[in-house]
Structure formats: C-alpha cells, structure tokens
C-alpha cells in the first residue's frame, strides 16, 4: 500500500500557524470537531480549520469552506461554537475565509490516512498523478463507476483486483 509522505506547501503553512499559536489548548479542543459526513476526520485534518485568534475578549476562529454550498459547513461552524462554549469560551465568532480557496492539498497526511482506514480513497496531492488506489487492498487497478458517490464531493470507484466498490474523495 503506498502512503503519501509528502507534505504540501499549504499544509506546511497551516502547521506553522498552529505551532506558533498562543492558544494551543484551543487547537487541541477543536481537534474534537469532525466532519459531519466523515466522523473520523477532524476539521484540522480536513484543512478547514485555519487559525484561532484572540481579539480582546473575542475568539475568532477562521475556517475555509470546502466545497461551496456544502451544507456540512453550517453544521461545522455551529459545532465549533458549541465546543468552545462548552469549555467556557462564550464570545466566539467563526469567520469563513474565501481566499485562498480550499483545496484537498490543505488536508493533513494524518487526515488522508484516516480516510483510507475509513474505506475512502484519499485525494492525491496535486501533481502526484491521478491514480486512485483501492483503500481495501491498495491496488491502483480501479475504474470509475460514477462521478458522484455517497455525496457530491466523492466519486464512486471499483477495485478491479478485490472487486470492492469504494468512494474516492475527489481532488480539487
Ligand atoms: Zn482492492
């Protein structure tokens, strides 16, 4: 099975913001907030959570929406607020950043591994070819069945070796 050790530039920048943050405990807290559609992947892993800042008494949480119009985004923002409020931070604002736009390159290496373990083929980093590997057996011998899988962000594939159908998280 080929893993993806590569760290993209976008990931590196996010990791730096997190490492340099004065609020490390809040980042850890928000690691509990996951994608409502893929509960094993946190908003951090997904590349949605960008920054946590303090402006006076107010906490600003910056997120980048994934696919525009994705209904899960509203749910994610409200989960962030709920999680911070439960920890005693009541003055919270979730800000959506529209540039740079989200791409699957924001997704962390751990996020890709978790997707694969969950049975969803992770997006390949751009420039790494468009081979879609079966998350069950790792074979690159797969065929597209439908451009739309269980949700619009995924496509349905079938492995030609183990014959299992699987979702592929589309690369954008
Ligand atoms: Zn397979």
pLDDT tens digits along 129-167:
668 999 999 999 999 999 987 777 889 999 999 999 999
pLDDT band at residue 37, thresholds of 50, 70 and 90?
Answer: confident
pLDDT at residue 27, as a whole number: 97
pLDDT band at residue 78, thresholds of 50, 70 and 90?
Answer: very high
To the nearest whole percent, how much of the chain has pLDDT over 90?
61
Ligand 1 centroid to residue 26 C-alpha, Å: 39
pLDDT band at residue 56, thresholds of 50, 70 and 90?
Answer: very high
Q: How far apart are CA 46 and CA 66, in angstroms?
A: 9
**Alpha carbon distances (Å) from 9 to 27, 50, 75, 104, 132:** 20, 14, 28, 12, 22
Ligand 1 centroid to residue 83 C-alpha, Å: 38
Q: How far apart are CA 88 and CA 85, in angstroms?
A: 5
Is pLDDT above 50 for 60?
A: yes
Domains and CATH numbers, the chain: 9-105 (3.30.300.130), 119-169 (no CATH)
Ligand 1 centroid to residue 164 C-alpha, Å: 6
Stated pTM of the model: 0.85
Ligand 1 centroid to residue 144 C-alpha, Å: 13
pLDDT at residue 1, as a whole number: 42
Ligand 1 centroid to residue 160 C-alpha, Å: 7
Q: How far apart are CA 63 and CA 94, in angstroms?
A: 7
Ligand 1 centroid to residue 114 C-alpha, Å: 17
User: In terms of pLDDT, which residue wins out, 5 or 92?
Assistant: 92
Average pLDDT, stretch 4-18?
A: 78
């Amino acid at each position: 099975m080929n893993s993806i050790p590569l760290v993209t530039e976008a990931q590196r920048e996010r990791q730096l913001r997190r490492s340099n943050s004065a609020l490390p405990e809040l980042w850890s807290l928000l690691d509990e907030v996951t994608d409502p559609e893929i509960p094993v992947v946190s908003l951090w892993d997904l590349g949605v959570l960008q920054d946590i800042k303090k402006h006076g008494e107010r906490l600003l949480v910056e997120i980048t929406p994934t696919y525009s119009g994705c209904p899960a985004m509203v749910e994610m923002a409200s989960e962030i607020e709920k999680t911070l409020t439960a920890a005693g931070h009541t003055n919270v604002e979730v800000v959506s950043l529209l540039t740079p736009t989200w791409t699957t390159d924001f997704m962390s290496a751990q996020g890709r591994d978790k997707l694969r373990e969950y049975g969803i083929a992770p997006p390949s980093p751009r420039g790494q070819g468009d081979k879609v590997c079966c998350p069950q057996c790792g074979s690159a011998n797969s065929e597209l069945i439908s451009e739309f899988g269980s949700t619009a962000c995924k496509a349905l594939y079938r492995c030609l070796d183990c014959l299992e159908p699987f979702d592929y998280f589309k690369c954008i």
